[in-house]
Structure formats: structure tokens, C-alpha cells
Structure 1
């Protein structure tokens, strides 16, 4: 099942703006990874950690890990955080998402 996430249904960047700078400044992935599987478009990542760019648009993602992921409006997890991807295992479509960061 595809769950389309309207931009209004996401946590808007203005709400999470304080998170954007620390997340972008965090740099490379940490030693600990999320447990589970993250799908970004058609790519599968087991125990992901770090930033993953969308390869096609709109971004589709499924987060079956133990950690919430952040969705950015620019590639390489730059720009603003425009939403959060819950660890619910459902497929989400994010029209303006360009990359996802997970720890």
C-alpha cells in the first residue's frame, strides 16, 4: 500500500527549524546505525546510518527501522527538514523530499 503524505501532513520546516542546523552539522554517520531496513525509492538499506539521496522524484520511502528519519528538501541532507518519516514500515510518498537522514 502506498501512503501519500501531503506536505500539510508533514511537520513543516518552520516547526523543526532548530533541528535543521544540528542535523546538517552532524556530518558523517555515527558509529551506531538504526536497526532494520530503510527503503529510499527502490534502494534497500539494512541497518542504515547517514544520509540517503532520492534517485527519482517524488521520493518514496519506507522506514522499517527502530528510529525516526528526517526528510530534507535538498540532496545530501542539506536545506530544510520538511518532515519526519516514522518507523512504521509503511510506504510514504513525499513530493518535495530529496534526501533522508537516519541515525
Structure 2
């Protein structure tokens, strides 16, 4: 084994890690299924959805967990987590985020 083998291997591992780090943020994820918020269906949802009907009803028929936020645009505290197959009703939340 030569003296250069160690640094070359380390550099190769670093390059592979950098390539993986750059590839992961670009991959988009959408939940599979239907998220229903106040009667509005979102097919294969991702990200944040706001609403202004109260009381609000959130039915999660996806494969992902949905956060219920107290503020608009998924700001404020997380009021509840709606797991797949569950329905949650709220009079205080203003948005949901699909994890």
C-alpha cells in the first residue's frame, strides 16, 4: 500500500458524501393518498395548506403524518398530529403541514 492510498480513499469518500448531500434536498416527497381539509381533497399532498373555516375538519387518508398549526402558513405551535386514518376537528388552528 502506498502513502497516497489513505488520502485518496478519504477524498473519494468525501466526494461521495458531498454528492449524496447535494442529491437529497432536491428530491421531492409527496404523501400518497388524500388529505381532506374542510371538504377539499388534496391528492398526494405535500407542504402547507391553510384554511379559514371554523370549526375545521382534517381527515388524513395518506401515508404521512399531518401537523396541525395554530398560525397561518404553518406558523405557530403544533396543536395536534393527525396520523394516517384519523380525523381531527379544531376551532383554533389555521393551517396543516404534511410531513
TM range (shorter): 0.5 to 0.7
CA contact (8 A) 1:41 1:55 kept: no
Q: CA RMSD in A?
A: 1.4
The answer for the alignment partner of 2:42 in structure 1 is 45
Query: Which of the numbers 70, 76, 81 marks the counterpart of 1:79?
Result: 76
TM-score by length of 2: 0.68
CA contact (8 A) 1:63 1:85 kept: yes
Q: Deviations over 1:52-81 (max 9, x none)?
A: 011301221100000111000011101111
1:70 aligns with 2:64: no
TM-score by length of 1: 0.65
Give structure 1 regions of 4+ aligned residues with deviation exceeding 3 angstroms.
Answer: none
Count of aligned positions: 73
- Is the partner of 1:31 in helix, strand or coil? coil
- Equivalence map 1:17-36=2 (5 Å): 31-36=28-33
Within 1, Cα distance between the matches of 2:96 and 2:77? 11
Within 2, Cα distance between the matches of 1:43 and 1:55? 12
- Which structure has the larger Rg over C-alpha atoms? 2
Unpaired stretches in structure 2, ≥5 consecutive residues: 1-26
1:92 aligns with 2:88: yes
**Structure with bigger RCO (C-alpha 8 Å, 6+ apart):** 1
